[in-house]
């Protein structure tokens, strides 16, 4: 089975190894690049909880001055894994979507106990900060990375995509979906997906790619990628 992964290489390595060990051919087409942003480091001791909606938020954060016993809220398993690796001990993990993460925060963090700091990228599809504030929470958002589109694709990869039937494509965000669509249009690839199953992390991502004719569209949470192979 030919599988196409679209996340940056650091986020794709594990899946590439896993899928190839199962005998699948994996192509890697990164559609975004993660770029760190300079930020004014806050006094983390003023916060009783910290929120991460992506693993990149942790990777681009200096965590050395953070008490690792702080209540740590992660959007999904991949983010939780990086949080544990960074030393955080008191972790609450959602099921891969921000709505579920909000509910976990509402259930487990006492808004009267202090403030939350929300670490995120520059582009977000859901304003978790505003939603929590409307529920009476004190939240500060710190932006420590941004996402840039990748526009130039290797000629060899373009040839592979045109020559081989791709059975599965994984898309992880609305922004990635938009950049992927731009690449398909730029390289005249938009009509080659009728036999391909599109796997999207959320409805926002899938809606961007609705103009392409897919075999089927599936929604998934991070960590379910291997399981999805057996659904098609």
What does the mean pLDDT of the chain come to?
93
- Check residue 222 and give its pLDDT: 78
Structural domains present in the chain: 2-31+150-228 (3.40.50.10090), 35-147 (3.40.50.10090)
Give the integer Cα–Cα distance in Å for 70 and 67.
6
Helix (H) or strand (E) holding 134: helix 128-134
Q: Is 207 helix (H, G, I), strand (E, B) or coil?
A: helix
CA 48 to chain CA centroid, Å, is 25
**pLDDT at site 97:** 84
Check residue 125 and give its pLDDT. Answer: 73
Q: If you ran DSSP here, which 8-state letter would residue 212 be given?
A: S
pLDDT at 161: 86
Enumerate residue ranges in the chain where pLDDT < 70.
none
Which element (helix H / strand E) includes 119? strand 115-121
* Torsions phi, psi for 54 (to 5 deg): -160, 155
Measured CA to CA, the distance from residue 17 to residue 67 in angstroms comes to: 34
> How confident is the model at residue 92, as a pLDDT?
98
């Amino acid at each position: 089975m030919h599988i196409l992964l679209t996340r940056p290489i650091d986020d794709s390595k594990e899946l590439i190894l896993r899928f190839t060990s199962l005998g699948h051919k994996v192509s890697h087409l990164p559609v975004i690049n993660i770029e760190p942003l300079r930020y004014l480091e806050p006094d983390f001791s003023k916060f009783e909880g910290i929120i991460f909606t992506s693993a990149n938020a942790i990777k681009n954060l200096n965590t050395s001055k953070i008490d690792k016993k702080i209540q740590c809220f992660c959007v999904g398993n991949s983010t939780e894994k990086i949080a544990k690796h960074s030393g955080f001990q008191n972790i609450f993990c959602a099921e891969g979507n921000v709505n579920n993460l909000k509910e976990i925060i509402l259930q487990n963090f006492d808004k009267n106990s202090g403030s939350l700091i929300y670490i995120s990228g520059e582009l977000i599809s859901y304003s978790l900060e505003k939603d929590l504030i409307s529920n009476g929470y004190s939240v500060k958002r710190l932006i420590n990375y941004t996402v840039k589109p990748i526009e130039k694709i290797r000629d060899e990869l373009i040839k592979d995509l045109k020559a081989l039937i791709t059975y599965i494509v994984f898309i992880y965000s609305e922004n990635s979906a938009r950049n992927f669509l731009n690449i398909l249009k730029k390289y005249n690839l938009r009509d080659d997906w009728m036999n391909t199953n599109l796997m999207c992390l959320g409805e926002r991502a899938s809606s961007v790619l609705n103009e392409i004719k897919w075999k089927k569209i599936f929604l998934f949470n991070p960590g379910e990628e291997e399981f999805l192979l057996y659904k098609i």
